[in-house]
Amino acid sequence: MTYANIPEHTELEALALVTTEGLQLAFSCIPSYEVDPDLFSSLSAVVMKSGSDAIDTLGFHNMLEVVLRGEDAFIILSAAGRFFLMGASRKIQDLGKVVTVFRYYSSEIGKRYPPL
């Protein structure tokens, strides 16, 4: 199983594999989801860094994921070794399923590409 299998298990409208610095390694989205891939990736790195700093400040370790949920959409960011996965969707009812799928694939990617 690879990163490319995630769309088979979710109905995400945008999906990216991003470095911790915000560089996009892979990106895909449905045609009706209008988003700048570079902005999508770089903003996600800011959110991951902020979340990681907050976790560290509280004395916890190894931030695994961040979920941002609005009234009609959500974004999930999941640590995946030296990278992270980011997905976005307007189907709020799929959030639980997407979290489960991201946890699995993030773990698999992290095994292949552990943090440096």
Across all residues in the chain, what is the average pLDDT? 90
Neighbours of 96 (CB within 10 A): 9
Task: Kindly give the parts of the chain with pLDDT less than 50.
Answer: 1
Dihedral angle sign, alpha carbons of residues 67, 70, 74, 75: negative
Each residue's pLDDT tens digit, 9-29: 888 999 999 998 889 999 988
**CATH code, domain carrying 104:** 3.30.450.30
Which structural domain, as residue segments, surrounds residue 65?
Answer: 3-112
Number of domains within the chain: 1
